């Protein structure tokens, strides 16, 4: 039972929509299908704007660019995420303060965020891990009380809901991924940025497509020595300049193709069914795990929809050897994934002074407690039966002996 290569389902509707675009004779770049996809997406998320891009990584790069961070600024981030969530901060001479995850959740703990705020803090980057929404109400209170911008990495969270609102619409800017493994895909790669600020939306549209900077064009009209001025009306499409994209010092082309957008539209229409299937599988696995006192499922804040992009659970490391459990599941041909290695311990962040013990909860989780099981719509009912049976056998085999319990104090 493999971990998902494709996290969604692909059927004749996807193929027909892609074929229609390819055979339309219309442009395959920056056309009307992309606009339709963006309109459907912003309606789904509940923001004024949804701007498609070529990946979740690029969405985060552009979102972080908009924060307008200056050397010496501080950003608070979770250590429990994929590196793309905060990678652009590495080259910006800003200080990242990692706020540990909650003891009962893979998500950033608002209480730890509050502890990290200083007069230099400008932003918080949160990740809705596996689609489980971050407890956004307390987090947004801290952010608003301290004038902080909030970036939501919602790469896992399409289909999630937090107290009546969609992740990606609660903070200042949301970033989604349509990578092959995600809840929906746009031909394997793609991303979306969601937001309400019109000035940011305008800049994003220009940045992602290397479009001409019209403000500069206006200012520069007719300013070329003794040459006759070129009327401003001729500039669009004929002259390009660009605002600097952070350290890259240029714009970029990060647009989503028409064929990808066509697939995105079909996929978004299927999202309720895809989420329902993920939840059904998760309910079966959860029911099995509920039999064990040595297993803990993440706590869900009140009133959330959890679309189980990842099915995550933790073991009590005094009672179960997590690494042995992974091994036993592999023997049963059930692939598991540990994610993510705590970011502050990666060499690039260690080089910036981050240390072991900085985020003890995230570290303990990665090294000794947590794991992710296959949970995606492509799993058949038979496969889910096999998974559940294999899981219970593997847990029995990975239980620690009573002598281990007598000899150890529960450290990992």
Ligand X SMILES: Cc1ncc(COP(=O)(O)O)c(C=O)c1O
Q: Which two tokens stand for residue 70?
A: 């200056």
The nearer residue to ligand X, 278 or 400, going by C-beta atoms, is 278
Minimum distance of ligand X from residue 304's CB (angstroms): 18
CA dihedral in degrees (15, 16, 19, 24; nearest 10)? -160
The nearer residue to ligand X, 157 or 281, going by C-beta atoms, is 157
Minimum distance of ligand X from residue 176's CB (angstroms): 8
Minimum distance of ligand X from residue 253's CB (angstroms): 16
Counted residue by residue, the chain has a size of: 412
Q: Which two tokens stand for residue 354?
A: 């981050």
The nearer residue to ligand X, 125 or 217, going by C-beta atoms, is 125
Q: Are 396 and 376 in contact (CB under 8 A)?
A: no
Angle (CA) 62-65-69 rounded to 5° is: 160
Quickly list H helices, 190-321: 198-208, 214-220, 258-289
The nearer residue to ligand X, 343 or 379, going by C-beta atoms, is 343
The nearer residue to ligand X, 127 or 334, going by C-beta atoms, is 127
Closest residue to ligand X using C-beta atoms: 56
Minimum distance of ligand X from residue 178's CB (angstroms): 7
- Residues in contact with ligand X by CB under 6 A are 55-57, 81-82, 84-85, 127, 153, 155-156, 177, 179, 191
Helix, strand, coil proportions of the chain in percent (round to 5)? 40, 15, 45
Minimum distance of ligand X from residue 128's CB (angstroms): 8
Angstrom distances, CA of residue 321 to CA of 37, 102, 294, 366, 370? 46, 22, 10, 13, 11
Q: Kindly tell me the burial class for residue 341, based on how many C-beta atoms sit within 10 Å of its own C-beta (0-12, 13-18, 19 or more).
A: middle
The nearer residue to ligand X, 153 or 363, going by C-beta atoms, is 153
Taking each helix axis from N to C end, the angle separating 32-45 and 258-289, rounded to the nearest 10 degrees, works out to: 30
Quickly list H helices, 117-246: 136-145, 198-208, 214-220
- Strands 295-296 and 311-315: what pairing? antiparallel
Minimum distance of ligand X from residue 402's CB (angstroms): 39
- Strands 295-296 and 173-177: what pairing? unpaired
The nearer residue to ligand X, 85 or 255, going by C-beta atoms, is 85
- Strands 173-177 and 311-315: what pairing? unpaired
List Cβ neighbours of 225 (8 Å cut-off, separation of 6 or more): none
Minimum distance of ligand X from residue 215's CB (angstroms): 30
Angstrom distances, CA of residue 105 to CA of 134, 193, 362, 380? 9, 25, 10, 28
The nearer residue to ligand X, 153 or 172, going by C-beta atoms, is 153
Minimum distance of ligand X from residue 331's CB (angstroms): 28
The nearer residue to ligand X, 217 or 263, going by C-beta atoms, is 263
Minimum distance of ligand X from residue 309's CB (angstroms): 8
CA dihedral in degrees (38, 42, 48, 51; nearest 10)? -40
């Amino acid at each position: 039972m493999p971990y998902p290569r494709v996290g969604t389902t692909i059927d004749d509707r996807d193929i027909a929509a892609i074929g229609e675009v390819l055979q339309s004779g219309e442009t395959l770049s920056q056309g009307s299908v992309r606009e339709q996809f963006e309109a459907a997406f912003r309606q789904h998320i509940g923001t004024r704007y949804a701007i498609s891009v070529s990946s979740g990584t690029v969405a985060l790069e552009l979102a972080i660019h908009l924060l307008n961070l200056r050397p010496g600024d501080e950003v608070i981030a979770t250590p429990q995420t994929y590196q793309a969530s905060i990678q652009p901060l590495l080259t910006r001479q800003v200080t990242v303060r990692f706020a540990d995850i909650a003891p009962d959740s893979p998500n950033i703990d608002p209480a730890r965020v509050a502890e990290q705020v200083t007069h230099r803090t400008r932003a918080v980057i949160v990740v809705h891990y596996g689609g489980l929404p971050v407890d956004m109400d307390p987090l947004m209170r801290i952010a608003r009380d301290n004038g902080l911008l909030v970036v939501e990495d919602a790469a896992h969270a399409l289909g999630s809901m937090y107290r009546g609102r969609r992740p990606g619409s609660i903070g200042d800017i949301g970033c989604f991924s349509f990578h092959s493994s995600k809840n929906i895909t746009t031909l394997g790669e793609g991303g979306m940025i969601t937001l309400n600020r019109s000035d940011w939306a305008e800049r994003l549209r220009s940045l992602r497509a290397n479009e001409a900077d019209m403000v500069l064009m206006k200012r520069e009209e007719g300013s070329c020595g003794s040459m006759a001025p070129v009327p401003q009306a001729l500039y669009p499409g004929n002259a390009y300049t660009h605002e600097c994209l952070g350290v890259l010092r240029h714009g970029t082309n990060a647009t989503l193709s028409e064929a990808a957008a066509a697939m995105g539209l079909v996929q978004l229409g299927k999202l309720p069914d895809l989420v329902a299937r993920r939840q059904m599988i998760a309910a079966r696995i959860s029911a099995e795990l509920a039999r064990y006192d040595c297993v803990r499922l993440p706590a869900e804040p009140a009133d959330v929809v959890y679309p189980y992009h990842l099915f995550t659970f933790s073991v009590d490391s005094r009672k179960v050897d997590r690494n042995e459990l992974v091994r036993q599941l592999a023997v049963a041909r059930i692939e598991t994934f540990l994610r993510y290695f705590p970011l502050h311990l990666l060499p690039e962040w260690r080089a910036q002074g981050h240390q072991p013990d900085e985020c003890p909860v995230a570290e303990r989780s990665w090294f000794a407690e947590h794991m992710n099981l296959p949970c995606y719509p492509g799993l058949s009912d038979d496969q889910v039966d096999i998974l559940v049976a294999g899981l219970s056998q593997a847990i029995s085999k990975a239980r620690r002996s009573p002598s281990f319990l007598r000899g150890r104090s529960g450290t990992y």
